[in-house]
Homo-oligomer: A and B are copies of this chain.
Amino acid sequence: MVKEFNTNIEYPNFGFEILQRDAGSFARVGLLKTPHGTIETPNFIFVGTKASVKNLHPVQMREAGADMILSNTYHLYIQPGPDLVHKMGGLHKFMGWDGPMLTDSGGFQIFSLGTGTGADEIKGKGKAGNKSLLKIDEQDGAIFKSYKDGSLCRLNPEISMDVQRKLGADLVVQMDECTPHSAEREYTENSMQMSHRWGDRSLNAFEKDHDGTQGVYGVVQGGVYRDLREESAEYTRSRPFFGTAIGGCLGGTKVHFYEILSWLPERIHPDRPVHLLGIGKIEDIFEGVKQGMDTFDCVTPTREARHGRALMRGAKGGFINLRNSCFKDDPSPLDETLGLASSALYSKAYIQHLLKAGEMLAFQIVSQHNVAVIARLMREIRATLKAGGDLDKLRKEWLPD
């Protein structure tokens, strides 16, 4: 089914070392090496869509314990444009983050924002996006309208790799089509096959300018169909990608999504780092880790903060709502044990006041706290795995029934 591919690509400045494996699951502890540093896995990649993690300086990200940041190719392609970022020395220098970075291919946003389907499913948003996707053509790629000025833009494997090359993140992702989970089998299969051909084109484009500064991830698609997911896993395994990303709209329900993940650990390349695209709620992180996922990304930490929700180990649902009247005169800080001024200096009463008064400092405080909570979650997961401990027990400490 999967055609041959003769090019080999080496990644001398990159590495992924699996240090330890969980006895009861596919979970593993690893070291992911990039030109901008080595991070421990499992880990979380915090989202800085437009070359900025919303409301937070890079130094505040470091204080909170963040190890890695992701920016979105789609958004930076439109504003300020890859040539400007390249001229300014690349994403790291542009935004002042000296640790590892990843950019996605831009495909997800084009299809999800463009049709108003994918993002709704994955991110749980009810509102359909602006229909900006005008045309998908396998050879030429996707043509879409810029949300900035309405001008026509094009993204295909060669353009995506060129844009990501100019942005200069350590890890980049092949161009793919993100199929909605509601898609019929035939559409999903054809889309997946196209994504595989786009994967080969991405690799060829990547290889052409490869100078050792970037590593490229292949993407496993195939929707909700087990045989397609397995075929896609085989495709990525057979190609000289540095890492494996799990993409697509992962089922309509949580059970389904977890079931899809369970098909993959024994099919994908066993030695490569695995990234679960766009997923990062606390319960999903636990499930993903058990299925062998090494890294996660999600806008949850900063988006929840802007809604006044502080992530909290052991709270019902994993968070508290700081607008709740019970915090009106609560003098206690968010969490003094995080070693962070944002979590220790301010009372919940003060943060509620800031939220009510529309003071943006609230978003800073809670965003940094939320990043620190997720960074701690990942540290505790790694510590538990290293100690041969029980992930389910840890999950119950974080998310009591």
Contact = CB atoms under 8 A, between A and B. Distances in A.
B356 A79 contact: yes
B51 A350 contact: yes
A361 B55 contact: yes
Interface residues of A, number: 41
A155 to B, nearest CB: 19
Contacts of A79: 353, 356-357
9 cross-chain pairs, A with B, having the tightest CB-CB distances, nearest first: A80-B353, A50-B357, A52-B359, A96-B345, A52-B361, A55-B360, A79-B357, A94-B350, A88-B349
Contact of A84 (B80, B88, B349): B349
Contact of A331 (B51, B89, B350, B354): B89
25 contacts: A50-B353, A50-B357, A51-B353, A52-B354, A52-B359, A55-B364, A57-B341, A57-B364, A57-B365, A80-B349, A80-B357, A84-B328, A84-B349, A87-B329, A87-B331, A88-B347, A89-B331, A94-B347, A94-B350, A94-B353, A96-B345, A96-B346, A96-B350, A360-B360, A360-B363
A196 B357 CA distance: 33
Interface string A49-69: 011111111110000000000
A231 B317 CA distance: 65
A347 to B, nearest CB: 6
A190 to B, nearest CB: 35
Contacts of A342: 57
A95 interface: yes
A328 B53 CA distance: 21
Nearest to A55: B360
A352 B361 CA distance: 21
A54 B354 CA distance: 10
A148 B352 CA distance: 15
Contacts of A84: 328-329, 349, 353
Contacts of A95: 346, 350
A354 B88 CA distance: 14
A11 B90 CA distance: 58
A89 B345 CA distance: 13
A339 B346 CA distance: 27
Contacts of A350: 51, 88, 94-96
A340 to B, nearest CB: 11
Nearest to A347: B88
Contacts of A58: 345
A54 B84 CA distance: 30
Nearest to A346: B96
Given A52-B354, A80-B349, A94-B349, 20 more contacts: A50-B353, A50-B354, A51-B350, A51-B353, A51-B354, A52-B357, A52-B359, A52-B361, A53-B361, A57-B342, A75-B357, A80-B352, A84-B328, A84-B349, A88-B329, A94-B347, A96-B341, A96-B345, A96-B346, A360-B360
